[in-house]
Structure 1
Amino acid sequence: MSQFVDRRLSGKNRSAVNRQRFLRRFKGQIRKAVTEAVSGRKVSDLERGEKISIPAKDLSEPFFHHGPGGRRNIIHPGNKEFIAGDQVDRPKGGGGQGGGNASQDGESEDEFVFELSKEEFMDFFFEDLALPDLVKKQLAAVPEVKKSRAGFVSQGNPSNLHVVRSMKQAIGRRLAMAAGPREALREAEERLQELVAKGLADSPEADELREEIAGLKARVAAVPFIDTWDLRYANRVDQPVPSSQAVMFCLMDVSGSMDEDRKNIAKRFFMLLYLFLTKSYERIEVVFIRHHTVAKEVDEEDFFHSRESGGTVVSSALELARETILERYPSAAWNIYVAQASDGDNWEEDSPRCREILVQGILPLVQYFAYVEIEAEEPQSLWREYEQVQAASRQFAMRRILTLEDIYPVFRDLFKKKVA
């Protein structure tokens, strides 16, 4: 029987197969850890991996061991107390467990900690959103930069050597270095021809001119044909694709009716929108505006984790967003996107005011306005007013989200290409 022995050296990714097997085996624990990590991350902080901890109890392996009872013959090394035939009392309380106790008042177990790469983290992040594989790759891909010519440099990679430019440089150097000796050589040769014409070819002056001519020819011949100083290399630099800047407004209701589950769904939607914008814009700013009866611009920590009691006045957030756009983000220099998340709750008298602000004050300034209603029992006054806005403007879109799995279908529907 033939046997093949593979003696090829393992590549640098030789443990990739084992790593993928590990990720598949503990997929549930990793998904749970990624979900917790997303809750603690910022919307714009998706450019790194994540440290994942798995409790040691979840890594336990099944194995065979001796159970209580039965008769066993055991040899104890270093025995100085017993001889053959002596009987040893069993440990009380089912003893025989090795190792010491870590603490007396609680369970203490070591955790297995490993690092998820950015690509692996994004895979688990997109998995909860039910994204197709192609979309996962497109959103997780690192944007490429174009190589552009940037002249020539005197040092570089031999593969980038520019022969024509180097030869031109060498010719110019040779002309400059040999210009003086060549001129003196021409004059000496003319004087020698004059002496020969006069019949003084064997005179001492003619001999001196011949020695001078020989020295000048040696000086001209000593000029190297090409020198390391002449070498020129094509220089190429990374040129990012020029793109405009964009600002993303995140508006969310933080009243008592918006619980943590609804906020988590809203955060996933905002993250997906941010990733979508990074594919088109190099510079993106994020503005967080929360509201209940009054609106306030806050940082991301307060935006997702603060909770207020009382009613909801959505128009306060729309007014603040419009004022912020006019003060800091002129539409001539910024691409403006607004995403609003709410459970649909709003005062009846305020909903017509919201429609008025959108139509007259915000939509003329922005590229797109997306409204998502999260886990709403049934459409309320705000939804009905926004339906009128959607019918009148192509820049406005609205959808309802019930679970995490609905985020991507709703997102895809909101931002699909519009037919002209």
Structure 2
Amino acid sequence: MTYFIDRRPNAKHKSAVNRQRFLERYRKHIKRSVEEAVNRRSITDMERGEKISIPAKDISEPVFQHGQGGARNIVSPGNKEFLQGDKIRRPGGQGGGGGAGEGGASNQGEGSDEFAFTLSREEFLEFVFDGLELPHLQRKPLKSLEEIKMVRAGLARDGVPSRISITRSMREAYARRIAMRAPIKRALKEAQEALAAEERKDPVLRNPARIVELKAEIERLEKRIEAVPFIDTYDLRYHQLAAQPQPSSQAVMFCVMDVSGSMTQNHKDIAKRFFLLLYLFLEKHYEKVELVFVRHHTAAREVNEEEFFYSRETGGTIVSSALNLVNKIIEKRYPAGQWNLYVAQASDGDNWDDDSNICRDLLVKQLMPQLQYYAYVEITPHDHQSLWHEYETVAAQFPERFAMRQIVDAGDIYPVFRELFKRRLSQER
């Protein structure tokens, strides 16, 4: 028998197993509290956990107790006041004192506040990004043989005990026992039949020596059957493992942010918070996702993470410069046959005259045939401009792989993010 012992270190006076059971049981309530917490706090403050509360009534446990009335003919252990047959006075009123939530002041009864506890950073992010994933993530052809997986490659008679195949070993042992016992059992049956025939003969014709000889033969054959081992080292079979190259599910996310003069500081803060939420989501759920940061005004540049979030460079607006740069980077470093390609773009929708048409053509003819998914968020409380309308044309041609949403204020960031990256049931695997 195999025993599994959980040796993960726990905090003092805490049980990891019980905590996980609690989080799973009240997932619905905790998720609602987490969503309220995300809307309250700054997205830039997502790195720490959160203290959340659950109404006490939602964590009450069902209990069984005796109701009013009914015939009871027992006396509970420890009772020193009543004897069998005594009648107990019915309690007056409507039960005990009022608890929390009952109106009116009272000099009796006890209440309970909401149940509060603290989620760790990992637990908090788990609830924040629950049900989200990169859309249309696919297995791509091999880029190299670096990603391998050990898979079973048949059975062998030699191996280590940890890889023994119990089912196959027992099957081999059973087949061996049948094969070794079969001729002995046939000889035993013949001897038993001969003994029975000899004993049925008339006492005058019966041969005592023959009877003794048959009984000795039967005893010898029965011992031979018992001597056949239940399992032998010859029966053991072991699983063999072989290194098998695996298709790579590597992906790259292009973060494209408009930093032109029309983007106010509030717009830029919202865009940075959106991309920070995206960064945390990818860091939490995926190991092989690269990020490419692109800032643009009249010209686009690939920058590092620090410059992407904190540079103060600004200028006019030509969105097509960013799309052209993304396309060049894909051709140079991330061929579509080997990478899952994603783009997330944030802009206020303002663009140079006639450039929106160029953006539409770039997307339809060059980018979208290569991309798995394109997410566009427009940060503006005003009416949409030409860029939005041209993107609507792209969305109509690629409804499953092009999504666009509007963000008015910081409170829209998290709901829009969940809508863009929610898990799709029909997604290809």
Taking structure 2 as the reference length, what is the TM-score of the superposition?
Answer: 0.48
Taking structure 1 as the reference length, what is the TM-score of the superposition?
Answer: 0.49
Larger Rg over CA atoms: 1
